[in-house]
Amino acid sequence: MRQCVRCLLCGQKHILRITIGHGARQEHTIHCEECGEEFSVALDLDQANAGWTFNCVSNCEQTSEGGVVVNLHPEFLVPPELRNIDDVSINILACQAMMKDRGVNKFISEESDYKEALKRSREDYGVEGEWVDLKRCWSQLNKGNRERATELVGVYGKKYADTGCSPESWIFPFVLRSISPGQFFLFENAIKRVAEAIKKDESRTEAFLEFHSTRIFSANLKRYFSIFEKFFSAYSDYSAHFFGYKFGNFQPGGAVSSCKFGDTMYFYGNAFEAIGSNMTTLACLNNLLKGRKYGEFQTEGFKIEQYMSSDKSGRADCFADIPEFAALADKYTSSVRNGSHHGTFELDEKTMNVSYTPRKTMVVETISYSGYIDMCVSMFFTCAVMTGIDCFLWNITKK
Ligand SMILES: [Zn+2]
């Protein structure tokens, strides 16, 4: 669709060529092509009846006159050279690229895989909508209102598949839907090692599950919740990468169609802190796998309490030799964390690059905004997989 808007600050006119996605609401926050000021537009979509409403959210108004063309797509990255070109279809270009990749893309290389992927993708498009429902229930659980949280599973959870009858039994399929099908392998691989770890020694496993359910599970869930909440509250900025990885058709090098930097700049730092804290689960499983008690590490005398208060930047080191766990820490880096967490991030809206100063070196580093979002989305998938592992363990305890 085409919508013409005018920047309220400088008057620059823009023709927004917006592709309609699969969500109920689609927001695009972009920078004025003339003055660089941020403005936002939104589409409210009625997918069942193919209806839509276009709204100017901030710093712009609709106009009948055309101006600079800006192509926007909620689910694909837009190649920078095509951002301001009229008469291109981002959908067709993305599909062509996907077809070209088909031979090397494991996910859609077999016809049966492809059909399966299509079938599942229809089921899995709506996790941001499911989040709105799950959030109420999960939030009540965090506040200690288990009874009300369980009631909410009955009220809202039954709209979705396999939600069971407890908050945790809904959180589990939700996180699997969030990563499926394209990132499901992360969970599938890791859970095999989890199963191996808990089969090793019955009494050690029992002690670990007791520690897990009484000491860390509830706190872990609260931290996961805060990451899901922050992710979905700035979903428009993450959606193209999210869809690209989820559906196995990620095309690197493009630009995002929304940049609400104020809402995303702290995400990586917050996710890093939450994931670092919650890695205790993986560290304990790693100890079991290596034939030790859950709280005993390779370094003699180093115990779980010390691990839990150690510097977060080194927390993934103890399981670096277990590829299925190490894959979850693939984009876990303290340099971006320091930029994000300490607020040294600065966005240059002309180049769409983010510069930051990792605390120790004081050397200015640069990352594209799209590259930064890529790291955030990777942390989101890690968070979802780890939530799945924690819920899996909790479920064993409850049996
Ligand atoms: Zn302007």
Q: Is the pLDDT of residue 98 over 70?
A: no
How many beta carbons lie within 10 A of that of residue 45, not counting itself?
A: 18
Same domain, 289 and 336: yes
Give the amino acid at 15: I
Instruction: State the distance from the centre of ligand 1 to the C-alpha of 8, rounded, in angstroms.
Output: 7
Mean pLDDT of 174-189: 93
In the prediction, which pLDDT does 47 show?
A: 82
367-396 CB burial, b ≥16 within 10 A, e <16: bbbbbbbbbbbbbbbbbbbbbbbbbbbbee
CA dihedral 376, 167, 395, 180 (to 10 degrees): -40
Same domain, 131 and 74: no
The answer to whether 343 and 201 have CB atoms below 8 angstroms apart is no
Evaluate whether residue 225 is within a structural domain.
yes
Instruction: State the distance from the centre of ligand 1 to the C-alpha of 159, rounded, in angstroms.
Output: 44
Instruction: State the distance from the centre of ligand 1 to the C-alpha of 346, rounded, in angstroms.
Output: 20
Tokens 């669709």, residue located: 1
Tokens 């994931």, residue located: 275
| Tens digit of each residue's pLDDT (9 = 90 or more) over 36-45 | 999 999 999 9
Instruction: Let me know how long the chain is.
Output: 399
The answer to whether 237 and 373 have CB atoms below 8 angstroms apart is yes
Same domain, 381 and 284: yes
In the prediction, which pLDDT does 122 show?
A: 45
The answer to whether 28 and 40 have CB atoms below 8 angstroms apart is yes
SS (H, E, C) 314-363: HCCHHHCCCHHHHHHHCCCCHHHHHHHHCCCCEEECCCCEEEECCCCCCC
Q: Which of 61, 12, 90, 55 is nearest to 257 (CA)?
A: 90
Instruction: State the distance from the centre of ligand 1 to the C-alpha of 377, rounded, in angstroms.
Output: 30
Same domain, 49 and 197: no
Evaluate whether residue 113 is within a structural domain.
no
Evaluate whether residue 269 is within a structural domain.
yes
Instruction: State the distance from the centre of ligand 1 to the C-alpha of 249, rounded, in angstroms.
Output: 34
| Tens digit of each residue's pLDDT (9 = 90 or more) over 147-170 | 999 999 999 998 888 888 899 999
Q: How far is CA 198 from CA 193, 195, 203, 289, in A?
A: 9, 5, 10, 8
Q: What is the mean pLDDT of the chain?
A: 89
Instruction: State the distance from the centre of ligand 1 to the C-alpha of 79, rounded, in angstroms.
Output: 23
Evaluate whether residue 115 is within a structural domain.
no
Tell me the pairing of strands 2-7 and 60-62. Answer: antiparallel
Q: Which of 352, 391, 396 is nearest to 138 (CA)?
A: 391
Q: Which of 387, 59, 30 is nearest to 225 (CA)?
A: 387
Evaluate whether residue 112 is within a structural domain.
no
Q: Is the pLDDT of residue 1 over 70?
A: yes
Q: Which of 270, 230, 264, 271 is nearest to 367 (CA)?
A: 264
Mean pLDDT of 234-245: 94
Instruction: State the distance from the centre of ligand 1 to the C-alpha of 81, rounded, in angstroms.
Output: 21
Task: Give the whole-angstrom CA distance, residue 139 versus residue 157.
Answer: 14
Q: Is the pLDDT of residue 258 over 80?
A: yes
Instruction: State the distance from the centre of ligand 1 to the C-alpha of 168, rounded, in angstroms.
Output: 47
Q: Is the pLDDT of residue 121 over 50?
A: no
Evaluate whether residue 368 is within a structural domain.
yes
Instruction: State the distance from the centre of ligand 1 to the C-alpha of 11, rounded, in angstroms.
Output: 6
Which of 85, 101, 117 is the last residue in one of the domains? 101
108: pLDDT confidence band, cut at 50, 70 and 90? very low
Same domain, 143 and 88: no
110: pLDDT confidence band, cut at 50, 70 and 90? very low
Instruction: State the distance from the centre of ligand 1 to the C-alpha of 375, rounded, in angstroms.
Output: 30
Domain assignment of residue 92, given as a range: 2-101
DSSP 8-state assignment for residue 229: H
How many beta carbons lie within 10 A of that of residue 46, not counting itself?
A: 10
Same domain, 92 and 143: no
Instruction: State the distance from the centre of ligand 1 to the C-alpha of 39, rounded, in angstroms.
Output: 9
Task: Give the whole-angstrom CA distance, residue 227 versus residue 124.
Answer: 20
Of the segments 49-53, 230-234, 354-358, which one has the largest average pLDDT value? 230-234
Domain count, the chain: 2
Same domain, 185 and 332: yes
Same domain, 158 and 91: no
Instruction: State the distance from the centre of ligand 1 to the C-alpha of 360, rounded, in angstroms.
Output: 37
Evaluate whether residue 120 is within a structural domain.
no
Same domain, 235 and 309: yes
Question: For residue 26, what is the enclosing H or E element?
Answer: strand 25-31
Q: Is the pLDDT of residue 234 over 90?
A: yes
Helix (H, G, I), strand (E, B) or coil at 399: coil
Instruction: State the distance from the centre of ligand 1 to the C-alpha of 67, rounded, in angstroms.
Output: 12
Higher pLDDT, 111 or 17: 17
Return residues with CB closer than 5 A to ligand 1 (ion). 7, 9-10, 12, 32, 34-35, 37
Same domain, 168 and 279: yes
Instruction: State the distance from the centre of ligand 1 to the C-alpha of 45, rounded, in angstroms.
Output: 27
In the prediction, which pLDDT does 201 show?
A: 95
In the prediction, which pLDDT does 164 show?
A: 86
Tokens found for residue 286: 């790693």
Peptide bond between residue 181 and the one before it cis (omega within 30 degrees of 0): yes
Helix (H, G, I), strand (E, B) or coil at 40: strand
Same domain, 208 and 343: yes
| Tens digit of each residue's pLDDT (9 = 90 or more) over 64-81 | 998 999 999 998 898 888
In the prediction, which pLDDT does 123 show?
A: 53
Evaluate whether residue 35 is within a structural domain.
yes
Same domain, 170 and 280: yes
